Amino acid sequence: MGSDDSMTSADLSTIQRAITRHLTVYPASHDVIQQVLEWAGQALGAHSASICTYNPRTQSLHRVNAMGYSEERLREFRDIPVEPGLPITDAVLEQRTICLTARDWDERYPHLTFIRLPEMQAIVALPLLLEGKVHGTLTFSWDSGRTLDGFEWVFLEGFALQCADALYRLRRTAWDHKVLEYSGGIVLVFGADRKVSFLSSSVTALLGYTEEDLRNLHLPDVLHPEEAHLVRDVLADPGRSLRTRIRVRHKAGGWIWLDVTVQNLLADPDVQGFVVNAHDVSSSVRAIEALRVSDRAHRQAADRYRHLLDLVNAFDLTVDPDALILTMLERAMAVTGFPQAFYYAAAGTDMTLRWARGAHTDEALALLPNINDLRAFGKPGLATMRGELFFAAADEALFDPPEALPRHFWRSFCSVPILMGGALHGVFVFVSGAEDRISPDLQQLMQSFADHVNVMLERYQHVQQLDTAREETFRALGRALEYRDHDTHGHTARVVQLAERLGRALELNEAQQDALRWGAYLHDVGKIGVSDQVLLKPGALTEGEWWEMRTHPQLGYAILAQIPTLPAETLGVVRHHHERWDGRGYPDGLAGDEVPLLARVFAVVDVYDALTSKRPYKAAWTREEAMTELERMAGSHLDPDIVHRFLTLLSSDVIRSASGDDRWHTE
């Protein structure tokens, strides 16, 4: 965008649209702001220009972007206190545009004539306002007496608003990143006035307070009196971090124990507050307290609770439901002291023995009733169907009519139902021949054991549901694009299937296969930003239309890069699936192994599907024709090793089809 003193309103509108697109497509950064500042300065014919951010806490401006100034000048005026007497600071204090000629400057600021450079013959300083708040300043200067016309003022004011929005987004991003840097679970931010300015949703779930509740409270109002002094300690020492355990009052009453880390970031311009990172440890505190009480009264019970803590730690190390249940079966024996333990899987009221652990389990099983239906399993069966634990001492019968008492070999009995999604998943059975009764402490322990197992199974089910939802969302995004371009109907499903088969043939690991499949779903998301005129054009594209079409990998990358859980490998597929092995692809012109592996893999299946699919401008190629074309493209357009493996895969499909095993084909 070259300088042009005679730019028309249409020219300025074109440049403003380009600035808008640049600020929209790319995440806010000082590099992006620098680029659009230079475009705006050149469009207005300015000699120099600058952007400063405003820090209301320190009442200062900090220059972050500039053009046309010497390095010495930039160093001299990098940080400026906001005090009356400078055009740039008056623009902030008065919240209005300051427009000056050289003569105006000398008359209004006679004490600053030595600051104005000779080439600064006309100056404009604008406050960057957004929703009534100053976020910074924008200045332009010209080396000749310059009067802006109406179109130029509209352009300048629009650009100032865009800069204000970009600085806000940049500061908000920096704020978010800084907060996340000092947070883990629960996140809370409060200012020097001890009032809350930010809280994560987990705070409400844990403590019951909404954001509105906490905004009307001071932090000491919810702290236990014995810990209130900690807030004073942190406030008194800027830069100090605090790690401790405290009690916080729940909105409904009672105290919640939290392990907290508090970082004083008042001096940090991006945060200007105290960042609190907290984890609920109430269960652990209560368990430890119960352990201490039990230790004083019952040494054996205390040992069992210590085993329970080990068992609870094992929950987080196991994610597969079967592995979790087997681990808990074995660990529970150590915790409870039961010498034999069994697990029955449940399907409705049907029971199937899955695992038996302990000494002499065959003898114990021989004495347990051989019943596969919960309804015939007496009192334990009825309790299990209700989702309740059942305990029986040596003198308590399980059945009606009662079995002979005392029972031979095993005496006390415990059954623990396991639920998943509110439905019966299975039942643990523990028996002992040494103990006549199950103590109240042990009954409480078994209830805690059941609760933990059920919670972990629920968590597993929720994770599986989230994984499924994510997969379906990616699939829906891919298919949604096909509803816009009907000529590509079925393309997403085909390339996903091809990519999965090729990924397995290349022995990619599970994470790589997931990333490749998601990349196949999302590879054309950027076409959302391509106009219908170009995307749906039935004939050949012009050079300008090809340029627009080739922006879709970058647009897709910019859109999807905002999803924090999306792997970098998937983003690589989206951005680089049109790169070429010889470096003549787009958008970055990468060559050979510079192109990410998964992008090279996907490029092969994407080209193959394009060749074998019908388009308005061509007929579908046969598999043999497409394979011949892939061989020709190997080493120039595509990775030759991956092409060779893919062709081997397709050839094996041809052999299976000829032999009558046509369970999968690509045409």
DSSP one-letter string for 249-317: E-TTSSEEEEEEEEEEETT-TTT-EEEEEEEE-HHHHHHHHHHHHHHHH-HHHHHHHHHHHHHHHHHTT
pLDDT for 66 = 92
Mean pLDDT of 338-356: 87
pLDDT for 593 = 94
Would you state the structure tokens that stand for residue 587, as one six-digit string?
Answer: 């958008």
pLDDT for 662 = 39
Greatest mean pLDDT range, 6-15, 124-133, 139-148, 171-180:
124-133
Run of H or E residues at 610: helix 597-612
Mean pLDDT of 356-383: 78
pLDDT for 506 = 94
Distance (Å, whole) CA 162 – CA 87:
21
- The pLDDT-based confidence of 640 (bands split at 50, 70, 90) is very high
Domain 182-280, CATH among 3.30.70.270, 3.30.420.40, 3.30.990.10, 3.30.450.20: 3.30.450.20
| Of 315-319, 360-364, 408-412, 535-539, minimum mean pLDDT range | 315-319
Distance (Å, whole) CA 510 – CA 528:
30
Is residue 95 left, alpha or beta, with left meaning phi > 0 and alpha meaning psi from -120 to 50? left
Q: Three-state SS across 305-363? A: HHHHHHHHHHHCCCCCHHHHHHHHHHHHHHHHCCCEEEEEEEECCEEEEEEEEECCHHH
- The pLDDT-based confidence of 250 (bands split at 50, 70, 90) is confident
Contacts of 593 (CB under 8 A, 6+ apart): none
The answer to whether residues 235 and 193 touch, using CB atoms and an 8 Å cutoff, is: no
Q: Where are the domains of the chain?
A: 9-177, 182-280, 298-461, 485-658
pLDDT for 636 = 94
Greatest mean pLDDT range, 79-88, 144-153, 477-486:
79-88
Handedness of CA 177, 182, 185, 187 (dihedral sign): negative
Q: CA geometry: angle at 76 spanning 71 and 77, to 5°? A: 105
Handedness of CA 539, 540, 545, 546 (dihedral sign): positive
- The pLDDT-based confidence of 658 (bands split at 50, 70, 90) is very low
| Of 46-60, 238-252, 505-519, 610-624, minimum mean pLDDT range | 238-252
Mean pLDDT of 425-449: 81
Run of H or E residues at 400: none
Greatest mean pLDDT range, 202-211, 212-221, 326-335, 639-648:
639-648
DSSP letter at 649?
H
Per-residue burial over 609-624, b = 16 or more CB atoms within 10 Å of its CB, e = otherwise = bbbbbeeeeeeebebe
Rounded to 5 degrees, what are φ and ψ at 566? -80, 125
- The pLDDT-based confidence of 294 (bands split at 50, 70, 90) is low
The more confident residue out of 321 and 123 is: 123
Contacts of 458 (CB under 8 A, 6+ apart): 420, 421
Distance (Å, whole) CA 144 – CA 158:
24
CATH number assigned to the domain covering 485-658: 1.10.3210.10
Q: Return the CATH superfamily for domain 298-461.
A: GAF domain (3.30.450.40)
Greatest mean pLDDT range, 2-11, 470-479, 567-576:
567-576
| Of 117-121, 402-406, 639-643, 654-658, minimum mean pLDDT range | 654-658
The more confident residue out of 412 and 655 is: 412
pLDDT for 35 = 92
- The pLDDT-based confidence of 4 (bands split at 50, 70, 90) is very low
Mean pLDDT of 427-434: 84
pLDDT for 362 = 79
| Of 304-308, 404-408, 485-489, 589-593, minimum mean pLDDT range | 304-308
The answer to whether residues 647 and 631 touch, using CB atoms and an 8 Å cutoff, is: yes
Closest listed residue to residue 202, CA positions, set 190, 217, 218, 184: 184
Report the chain's terminal Cα–Cα distance, integer Å: 49
Domains 9-177 and 298-461 share a fold: yes
State yes or no: pLDDT of 301 exceeds 80: no
Using DSSP's 3-state secondary structure scheme, residue 403 falls into coil
Per cent of the chain over pLDDT 70 is: 84
- The pLDDT-based confidence of 667 (bands split at 50, 70, 90) is very low
- Strand partners for 191: none
Q: CA geometry: angle at 617 spanning 616 and 618, to 5°? A: 100
Run of H or E residues at 537: none
- Tell me the pLDDT of the chain averaged across its residues: 81
Distance (Å, whole) CA 412 – CA 406:
10
The answer to whether residues 548 and 527 touch, using CB atoms and an 8 Å cutoff, is: no
Which tens digit of pLDDT belongs to each residue from 466-508?
667 677 777 777 676 666 555 566 788 899 999 999 999 999 9
DSSP letter at 1?
-
| Of 236-245, 417-426, 574-583, minimum mean pLDDT range | 236-245
Mean pLDDT of 564-577: 91
Run of H or E residues at 191: none
Per-residue burial over 433-466, b = 16 or more CB atoms within 10 Å of its CB, e = otherwise = bebebbeebbeebbebbbebbbebbeebeeeeee
Q: CA geometry: angle at 138 spanning 136 and 142, to 5°? A: 160
| Of 91-105, 162-176, 205-219, 572-586, minimum mean pLDDT range | 205-219
Would you state the structure tokens that stand for residue 437, as one six-digit string?
Answer: 């009764």
State yes or no: pLDDT of 660 exceeds 50: no
Cα–Cα distances in angstroms (integers) from residue 487 to residues 36, 200, 623, 659, in the given order:
38, 45, 19, 33
Distance (Å, whole) CA 128 – CA 310:
58
Distance (Å, whole) CA 622 – CA 515:
29
- Strand partners for 244: 260
pLDDT for 237 = 67
- The pLDDT-based confidence of 659 (bands split at 50, 70, 90) is very low
Q: How many Cα atoms occupy the beta-carbon half-sphere of 548 within 13 Å?
A: 16
Mean pLDDT of 595-599: 96
pLDDT for 405 = 79
The answer to whether residues 266 and 274 touch, using CB atoms and an 8 Å cutoff, is: yes
State yes or no: pLDDT of 1 exceeds 70: no
The answer to whether residues 8 and 150 touch, using CB atoms and an 8 Å cutoff, is: no
The answer to whether residues 372 and 389 touch, using CB atoms and an 8 Å cutoff, is: no
pLDDT for 184 = 46
Cα–Cα distances in angstroms (integers) from residue 250 to residues 204, 206, 229, in the given order:
10, 8, 19
Would you state the structure tokens that stand for residue 301, as one six-digit string?
Answer: 């019970």
pLDDT for 419 = 86
Domain 9-177, CATH among 3.40.190.10, 3.30.450.40, 3.90.600.10, 3.40.225.10: 3.30.450.40
Run of H or E residues at 426: strand 423-432
- The pLDDT-based confidence of 524 (bands split at 50, 70, 90) is confident
